Amino acid sequence: MLVHRCFPVVVGISGLLVGVDALAARPMITDDARIVDAESCQVESWAQFFRGRTETWALPGCNVAGRLELTLGGALTIERGHTRATDVLLQGKTVFMALEPNGWSVGVVLGNARHRDIDRGRLSPGDLYAYMPSSFSFRDDRVVLHTNLGWLGEIDSARHRFTWGVGSETKLFERMWMIAETFGQNGDELSFQAGLRCWVVPNRVQIDATFGNRLGEAPGERWLSFGLRLLSPAFLP
């Protein structure tokens, strides 16, 4: 029964937005101060659509030490009929306390995102990044707010940027949530996106659909994404 409630709403968003251009971004840029359960794993995956180009991401991650979530994954890009690996991401994340209803949590994330140098045919050193995610629960988890403050170091250009994000999850129905955020970094226009997230199988299978844009940009800057998240029960030693 719940599957019939989730899919028509999420698919309905796609029907309204078919044909928009997409911008490379995670389904939600603003991270939460939560990690996958101890001794468990997850796969976060999503697809984004560009004019003449499709990008798909898969980020498997596991909680290997109780409070340390390690993620290693990347992206495949399909363009002009050719498929190639374009990005590789390695990330570590920890939180200092569990997020309880009506409580709060804070954590630290460190990572490296490498991008394929098309001219040289190899991965570039990419970007180093670090940020502090914070989450705040209200009304018994019916509303959860997230904030990120961080740093991005572009290795090739030796540039340093301040990054930030503010996001929210608002419960609409038993397993349906509205998600929204705004985010950016110094030197770029503010971006925003919103959408729906649904638990098809509680704590195991989640789907989402989001759309967004950069403030003041042309329609070509809009993006559309569809995501699937799978979580396992505890099985690691």
Residue 158 has pLDDT above 90, yes or no: no
pTM for the whole thing? 0.85
List pLDDT tens digits, range 92-123: 999 999 999 999 999 999 999 998 765 556 67
Among candidate residues 62, 141, 68, the one with its CA nearest the CA of residue 104? 141
Contacts of 167 (CB under 8 A, 6+ apart): 28, 29, 30, 32, 145, 146, 147, 179, 180, 181, 182, 183
pLDDT at 140: 97
Mean per-residue pLDDT for 128-146?
97
Residue pair 108/100 in contact (Cβ under 8 Å)? The answer is no
Amino acid in position 216: G
Instruction: Tell me the per-residue pLDDT of 24-48, one tens digit each, with 9 for 90 and over.
Output: 335 789 999 999 999 999 999 999 8
- Would you say 14 and 37 are in contact if contact means Cβ atoms under 8 Å apart? no
d(CA 230, CA 237): 20
Q: Where are the alpha helices (DSSP H) in the chain?
A: 2-17
Direct distance between the N- and C-terminal alpha carbons of the chain, in angstroms, rounded to an integer:
35
In this predicted structure, what is the pLDDT of residue 18? 38
User: CA–CA separation, 22 vs 2, rounded Å?
Assistant: 29
Residue with token string 């798909």: 56
Query: Is residue 65 predicted with pLDDT exceeding 90?
Result: no
136: tokens are 């705040």
